[in-house]
Amino acid sequence: MGIDFVITWVDMNDEAWKASFSQYSGKIDNSRNEVSEARFRDYGLLKYWFRGVEKFTPWVRKIHFVTCGQKPDWLDETNPKLVLVNHEDYIPAQFAPTFNSNVLEFFLHKIPDLTEQFVYFNDDFFIINHLPESRFFTNGLPNDIAVFRYNSGFSQWAKMLKNNIDIINRHFDKREVMRRFGDKWYNPIYGSKARLNYWLKYYPKFVTLRTPHNAQPFLKSTFIDVWKNAESELLEAATHRFRQSSDLTPELFRTWQICTGNFEPYNTYNDTKMFPLVLKSAQAIEAIRQQQYKLVCLNDNIHIRNYAQVMQNINKAFESILPEKSSFEQ
């Protein structure tokens, strides 16, 4: 059927969204990660996401644009490749409205007419150079990197990842998985990033995997399998309208996919880079202008200095490589 893209987006300036958000949260509070402005704001970069898709991945079958009923004024919803997806179209009614992106991601497999092979994007993941279908899938399986990482466990995100791994360890025997799919876990393509795989070879439990924070290929059947085996945990987590430390994340589905061997080894870090803009805005701007990677993540943060100027410079960088309107723009 081809490969679909799924992207989630929110416009915090929308009056209907503000009213719904206020009903459940009260107000934006930048001292709390789950209701920080950085989690919901948009600075006009979305059009470059669509331009990048059209120029660099013209092979995509459909783009499922997931929002709570919003769309930017410039978006041409008549484009035959575009499917507008409201949260209510695929999330069970008892979990809506939600302001927790993790919950939006639990139910991706329920998006109508979604292909078995799809790639999931947050709205801060951008394609900035040519990508063939084989970048994401090989022999029908998602390309991914199966390597362990250290997890300090102190941040909210780290605690969520630990929750995922607790479920993985209840359902998979680490030694058996790594023996059965040894060619995928001990693959030379990973280079030095796989050193922990060797150090932890005889440790009986899974620990957190490295998480390339960028476009992630999935099989829809993976989501169905995870839901069959961890339904109660997912249903509980889905009640969280805002992020909290007891959440699960999409990494559960990715890790499950890896543990079942439904992936092909790929060193994602070769062409993918996450830039925390609070620290590396200048490097991000240069990477976009020079197209140093295929995929970049521009990670927002409420503590970015000179935020407006940084975002203007990022816009200019995108304009330098994607100056022409896409067919998704009116």
pLDDT at 284: 96
Residue 296: helix, strand or coil by DSSP?
A: strand
Q: Quick one: what percent of the chain has pLDDT higher than 90?
A: 81
CA dihedral 67, 73, 77, 83 (to 10 degrees): -10
CB burial of 292-310 (b: ≥16 within 10 Å; e: otherwise) equals ebbbbbbbbeeebeebeeb
Predicted confidence band of residue 18 (pLDDT cuts 50, 70, 90): confident
- The β-bridge partners of 126 are 296
Q: Mean per-residue pLDDT for 110-119?
A: 98
Quick one: average pLDDT of 285-296?
A: 98
The secondary structure of residue 241, as a DSSP letter, is S
Beta strands in 270-316 (DSSP E): 272-276, 295-299
Residue 34 pLDDT level (bands cut at 50, 70, 90): low
The pLDDT score that the predictor gives to residue 30 is 59
pLDDT reported for residue 40: 64
pLDDT of residue 29 exceeding 70: no
Indicate if the pLDDT at residue 28 is higher than 90. no
C-alpha triplet 285, 288, 290: angle, nearest 5°? 105
Q: d(Cα 157, Cα 211) in Å, to the nearest integer? A: 11
In tens, the pLDDT along 210-267 reads 999 899 999 999 999 999 999 999 999 999 999 999 999 999 999 999 999 999 999 9
DSSP state of 75: B
Angle, vertex CA 141, rays to CA 140 and CA 144, nearest 5: 150
pLDDT of residue 33: 59
Q: What is the mean pLDDT of residues 28-35?
A: 62
State the pLDDT at residue 279. 87
The pTM assigned to this predicted structure is 0.94
pLDDT tens, position by position, 236-246: 999 999 999 99
User: What local confidence, expressed as pLDDT, does residue 155 receive?
Assistant: 87
SS (H, E, C) the chain: CCEEEEEECCCCCCHHHHHHHHHHCCCCCCCCHHHCHHHCCCCCCHHHHHHHHHHHCCCCCCEEEEECCCCCCCECCCCCCEEEEEHHHCCCHHHCCCCCHHHHHHCHHHCCCCCCEEEEECCCEEECCCCCHHHCEECCEEEECCCECCCCCCCHHHHHHHHHHHHHHHHCCHHHHHHHCHHHHCCHHHHHHHHHHHHCCCCCCCCCECCCCCCEEEEHHHHHHHHHHHHHHHHHHHCCCCCCCCCCCCHHHHHHHHHCCCCEECCHHHCEEEEEHHHHHHHHHHHHHHCCCCEEEEECCCCCCCHHHHHHHHHHHHHHHCCCCCCCEC
The ranges assigned to domains in the chain are 3-321
At 239 the pLDDT is: 97
* CA–CA gap between residue 313 and residue 66 (Å, rounded): 27
Does 274 have pLDDT greater than 80? yes
Q: 3-321 in CATH: which number?
A: 3.90.550
Statement: residue 305 has pLDDT above 90? no
pLDDT for the residue 323: 98
38-48 mean pLDDT: 79
* pLDDT one-digit tens code per residue, 129-156: 999 999 999 999 999 999 999 877 788 8
Average pLDDT in the 316-329 region?
Answer: 98
pLDDT exceeds cutoff 90 at 185: yes
Q: How many residues does the chain have?
A: 330
pLDDT at 32: 67
For position 12, what pLDDT does the model report? 83
Q: What is the pLDDT of residue 304?
A: 76
Rounded to whole angstroms, how far apart are CA atoms 117 and 30?
A: 37
Mean pLDDT of the chain: 93
**Res 173: pLDDT:** 98
